[in-house]
Amino acid sequence: MEVDTAFLRSKRGIVKVAEMVTLFVAFVCFAVGSMPRYIAATVLEFVIISLLLLLYLFKLNKKLTFFFWPLIDVFNSIFAAVYFIVLSVIAVSTYNVTGTLAGGIVCFLSVGLLCVDSYTVFKNITFNKPRIENHNQVKE
């Protein structure tokens, strides 16, 4: 199985790894604060992002072509960003343990990374438009 190490060094790969790090830190903070509903949300999104990262890392997106993976990635990032905005606002406004406050703040960082991820992926999606390899070509 071929490993695409260039993906980890790309902007998208770095953003995916940063999302995983912030979600793990938020998970630890919520675990310290004993907030099971927040723990479940962060672990679930951590697993989804890990699977997407492995999909791109092992180039499985090119072998499993029955899904349009970039669009799935965009939808996941958008829905997760909206969900984590709500979760963060609730965690920050109703905290009673410092771990919950820290987890809410770290989730805000995750929201920013998820928004950057969804924007960069969506910007690169072409919907039935031919890709122009050379921008200096004259249209015929």
pLDDT one-digit tens code per residue, 130-139: 655 555 554 5
pLDDT one-digit tens code per residue, 8-67: 899 999 999 999 999 999 999 999 988 888 999 999 999 999 999 999 999 998 888 888
Q: Where are the domains of the chain?
A: 5-124
Picking from 72, 93, 75, the residue whose alpha carbon sits closest to that of residue 83 is 75
Q: Which two tokens stand for residue 130?
A: 């031919």
- 101 class by beta-carbon count within 10 Å (0-12 exposed, 13-18 middle, 19+ buried): middle
- Asked if residues 117 and 16 have their Cβ atoms less than 8 Å apart, the reply is yes
| Per-residue pLDDT, 125 | 81
Q: What percent of the chain has pLDDT over 90?
A: 65
How far apart are the C-alpha atoms of 37 and 27, rounded to whole Å? 11
- Asked if residues 12 and 120 have their Cβ atoms less than 8 Å apart, the reply is yes
Picking from 102, 103, 107, the residue whose alpha carbon sits closest to that of residue 85 is 107
Task: Tell me the pLDDT of the chain averaged across its residues.
Answer: 89
pLDDT one-digit tens code per residue, 78-98: 999 999 999 999 999 988 889
